[in-house]
Amino acid sequence: MRWIAKVIVTLLLLCGLSLAVLITLLQTRHATPIINHALALISDYQLTDTDIQFNIQRPLEVTLNNPTLTENQTPLLSAKRITLSLSPRSFALKQTIFANVVINGIEMDAQQLSAFKHLSDISIDRLAINDLNLNTANMTITHAQLQLDNWQYRSTNLPWWKQFDGAFQLSAPEMTWHHLNLKNVLLNGQKAQQQWQLSGYSGQWHTASINGQASYDERSQQLTLDQITITQLHLQQSQPLPAWEQWIIDATPIEHIVIKRADMLDTSIEQSTWAADNINLSLENWSWPQSYWEQDDAYLSVSATNAKWQDIVFEQPIIDLHFTPELISSQGISAQLLSGYMRIDGALSPDAIKLKALTLSGLKGLLPPHWREKALALVSKLSTFTIDDVDINNLQLTSTDTTLPFQLAGINIEGKNTVLKQNQKWGLWQGDIHASLGFASINQIIFTDPIAEMSSHNGDWKINKLVVPFTDGMLTADGEIRLAAKGKPWQLSVTNDSVPANVIYRWLRLPLPLNGAIDGTMKAHGLADNQRSFNYSLSGQADLKFREIQLDNIAPTQLLSEWSKKSDLLGTILPKYSSDIANNNQALTVLPLHITAERGKITVPTWLASNDNFSLSLSSHWDLATPKQQQLEWILKEGCQQLTRRRQADQREVNSFSTCSGNIK
């Protein structure tokens, strides 16, 4: 027993002596070989040009000043200082475990990161990197601070920054990630296996401050933004908004984004097609990449002091929307624009617009080019369009479209429970509409205080009253179409009393400018289910009388010249002629015009307008249902000159004849 005690004491003395020698050597020039010998146990790397500091009061801690890590005498990495604190658990578990590793002043690039392939398993309770400068193909970080808890390096394909579970923090004054430039970046969070939780993040992009909370699941590749707030973002037209959707696809592994709450405050953006100042935006429960038709229960609220779109300035715009599958509900869309006010409440689905209320007041605007085509394109795919309450008052609209320019002032429309489109067919299917105008000029034809009243019940659309007062005349009409009935039967009755004769050129687009008055009546009926049924069913008659007719600012010679052109007659816009020439011999004697239609067959007996030196005649037999039986002929005579324009089926011909010379052209 006394011998065993001597052996134990001897071993303890030897261990103590060895430890004392080791501690002494760590404070001499032999420290670097000792560290390299220890490093060789866990890797193939060596330290060179290293100043090692060791304090006996902290026997498990060593500081390396200006260390350079090499492999086969090739420098790989340098730092200003590295402090290593070995954990006592290393001896018990026989593993390389550090309680703390602090690295100061390190620069790394993609080539250096890829060079580390020969490390044994290492665990670090807390890894802290100060003044980190990282430069890779997709990321640049300068002067960053990084802290990771429970970093456990294993020889796997995982990148080094994923091999930990615990708290983490990253701060960097500047950071570039896939061309996205950020400043004053701060990330605080926890990682547990493949779950990342950001308890707080913040940074600056352009002029904006960004902060919030988020989480990321690597397995589902879903990013959840619990809160994101963007404040004071100011972008000019020279700073286009990034294509965020494509950037996310290209730069991140994210497949899904859930935005629980996003706020944009005090933001101004100016782009090539739109602009807005002092934007305040709130978005809740939004999912990406789902479209706005696929949202479950999302809310969007936007306001601004002013906005501009398509050259229209909106003052104090407010938008409140609720998104559910296949439905967008408006909680209120309003704005001051075009010297007036607009408000819309209702719902939109992929094939329907159902408005609870539409209010337009005092708007004054110049309609853009091709406004008809643009408006029809917006609503062409709709199956249903309804407005419960229409309140339009004192609108003024102007169109400079050369085909039919107009100016309308004092537009007032009241509508109740209106169904304007049903089963992809336009018409007043239900409801009541009362419309009036204070003043109107349509292609230079002026009328004042027109009124239209109409109603519909179950598709039986009735025009109860239509009154169009001209300067010295009036047009009245009433009619009906049964939209829900088979074939959609319709009827129309029109009465003219001193209607200006220039409507022939200005509205019907026939290049025959006349001054004077037209009296008469027209009654027609038929079916309107489709073009074929209309062609086979049109029946009725029109009787028109002409008073005090004269050519309007065009001489017979000039009219003959314009009609002799080979282009289509309808839609021809006549040039302006000198009034001195045009005002000679313009008075015409015009026969009454009698038109009959019977089941699509339209007959116009010879109609004549003439004076001593000029005549114009029209005759036609036109079968809407049978193109081969369509015939129309115009004959113009001026002195010894004669022009014939004839259309037979789809053939058109223009012939000139002169009795002066006997020539035909």
For residues 148 and 5, which has the higher predicted lDDT (pLDDT)? 148
Residue 365 φ/ψ region, left for φ over 0, alpha for ψ in the -120 to 50 degree band, beta for the rest? beta
Question: Which letter, b or e, does each residue of 68-77 get, where b requires 16 or more Cβ atoms within 10 Å of its Cβ?
Answer: ebbbeeeebb
Q: Tell me what percent of the residues of the chain surpass a pLDDT of 90.
A: 56
Residue 289: asked if its preceding bond is cis (omega within 30°), the reply is yes
Q: Indicate if the pLDDT at residue 240 is higher than 90.
A: no
**Which pair of structure tokens corresponds to residue 658?**
């002169």
Q: Indicate if the pLDDT at residue 496 is higher than 60.
A: yes
Q: Indicate if the pLDDT at residue 230 is higher than 90.
A: yes
Report the C-alpha gap between 191 and 214 in whole angstroms. 12
CB of 307 closer than 8 Å to CB of 314:
yes
Q: Indicate if the pLDDT at residue 493 is higher than 90.
A: yes
Question: Whose CA is closest to 33, among 43, 21, 25, 42?
Answer: 25
pLDDT for position 75: 74
Residue 9 pLDDT class (50, 70, 90 cuts) = very low
pLDDT for position 567: 83
Q: Tell me what percent of the residues of the chain surpass a pLDDT of 70.
A: 88
Highest mean pLDDT among 35-39, 212-216, 306-310: 212-216
Mean pLDDT in residue range 353-359 = 96
Residue 66 pLDDT class (50, 70, 90 cuts) = confident
Specify the pairing of strand 222-231 against strand 256-270.
parallel
**Which pair of structure tokens corresponds to residue 571?**
């839609």
Report the C-alpha gap between 44 and 418 in whole angstroms. 83
**Which pair of structure tokens corresponds to residue 380?**
């062409």
Count CB atoms within 10 A of the CB of residue 473. Answer: 16
Residue type, 630: Q
Sign of CA dihedral 307, 309, 314, 319: negative
CB of 241 closer than 8 Å to CB of 230:
no
**Residue 5 DSSP one-character state:** H
For residues 395 and 47, which has the higher predicted lDDT (pLDDT)? 395
Residue 584 pLDDT class (50, 70, 90 cuts) = low
Report the C-alpha gap between 31 and 24 in whole angstroms. 9
pLDDT for position 35: 55
Mean pLDDT in residue range 489-517 = 94
pLDDT for position 639: 85
Considering the chain, what is the average pLDDT of its residues? 86
Question: Whose CA is closest to 509, among 465, 468, 553, 569?
Answer: 569
Q: Is 67 helix (H, G, I), strand (E, B) or coil?
A: coil
**Picking from 149-163, 198-212, 444-458, 586-600, which range would have the lowest pLDDT averaged per residue?**
149-163
The stretches of 387-515 forming alpha helices (DSSP H) are 503-506
Question: Which letter, b or e, does each residue of 596-624 get, where b requires 16 or more Cβ atoms within 10 Å of its Cβ?
Answer: ebeebbbebeebebeeeebbbbbebebbb
**Which pair of structure tokens corresponds to residue 67?**
């260390």
**Picking from 55-64, 143-152, 257-266, which range would have the lowest pLDDT averaged per residue?**
55-64
Residue 11 pLDDT class (50, 70, 90 cuts) = very low
Question: Whose CA is closest to 46, among 57, 32, 59?
Answer: 32
pLDDT for position 256: 94
Question: Which letter, b or e, does each residue of 117-133 get, where b requires 16 or more Cβ atoms within 10 Å of its Cβ?
Answer: eeeeebbbbbbbbbbbe
CB of 368 closer than 8 Å to CB of 396:
no
CB of 54 closer than 8 Å to CB of 26:
yes
Report pTM: 0.81
Specify the pairing of strand 122-135 against strand 97-109.
parallel
CB of 383 closer than 8 Å to CB of 352:
yes
Residues 6+ apart with CB under 8 A from 338: 312, 363, 364, 365
Mean pLDDT in residue range 134-157 = 86
**Picking from 213-222, 245-254, 533-542, which range would have the lowest pLDDT averaged per residue?**
245-254
Q: Indicate if the pLDDT at residue 581 is higher than 90.
A: no
Specify the pairing of strand 256-270 against strand 384-399.
unpaired
Question: Whose CA is closest to 413, among 448, 442, 454?
Answer: 454
Q: Indicate if the pLDDT at residue 112 is higher than 70.
A: no
Residue 460 pLDDT class (50, 70, 90 cuts) = very high
Q: Taking each helix axis from N to C terminus, what angle separates 2-25 and 31-40, rounded to the nearest 10 degrees?
A: 110
Look-up of token digits 């007043």: 428
Q: Indicate if the pLDDT at residue 119 is higher than 90.
A: no
Report the C-alpha gap between 200 and 193 in whole angstroms. 19
Q: Is 510 helix (H, G, I), strand (E, B) or coil?
A: coil
Q: Indicate if the pLDDT at residue 257 is higher than 80.
A: yes
Question: Whose CA is closest to 292, among 263, 331, 321?
Answer: 321
Residue 580 pLDDT class (50, 70, 90 cuts) = low
pLDDT digits (tens, 9 = 90+) for 13-62: 333 333 333 444 445 454 555 555 555 555 566 667 677 777 777 888 88
CB of 226 closer than 8 Å to CB of 189:
no
pLDDT digits (tens, 9 = 90+) for 529-544: 999 999 999 999 999 9
Highest mean pLDDT among 108-122, 242-256, 261-275, 406-420: 406-420
pLDDT digits (tens, 9 = 90+) for 609-638: 999 888 999 999 989 988 888 899 999 998
Residue 160 pLDDT class (50, 70, 90 cuts) = confident
pLDDT digits (tens, 9 = 90+) for 292-306: 999 999 999 999 999
CB of 489 closer than 8 Å to CB of 462:
no
Contacts of 283-291 spanning 24+ positions with Cβ under 8 A: 283/259, 284/259, 284/260, 285/258, 285/259, 285/260, 286/258, 286/259, 286/262, 286/323, 287/256, 287/257, 287/258, 287/259, 288/245, 288/248, 288/256, 288/257, 288/258, 288/259, 289/245, 289/256, 289/257
What distance lies between CA 578 and its chain's CA centroid? 50
pLDDT for position 235: 84
Q: Indicate if the pLDDT at residue 463 is higher than 80.
A: yes
CA end-to-end span of the chain: 144
CB of 181 closer than 8 Å to CB of 172:
no
Question: Whose CA is closest to 335, among 362, 298, 295?
Answer: 362
Phi first, then psi, for residue 469 (nearest 5°) are -85, 120
Contacts of 320-326 spanning 24+ positions with Cβ under 8 A: 322/297, 322/298, 323/286, 323/292, 323/295, 323/297, 323/298, 323/299, 324/295, 324/296, 324/297, 325/293, 325/294, 325/295, 325/296, 326/293, 326/350
Question: Which letter, b or e, does each residue of 15-53 get, where b requires 16 or more Cβ atoms within 10 Å of its Cβ?
Answer: eeeeeeeeeeebeeeebbeebeeeeeeebebbbeebebe
Count CB atoms within 10 A of the CB of residue 511. Answer: 17
**Which pair of structure tokens corresponds to residue 582?**
């045009």
pLDDT for position 250: 79
Give strand pairing partners of 597: 540, 602
Q: Indicate if the pLDDT at residue 12 is higher than 50.
A: no
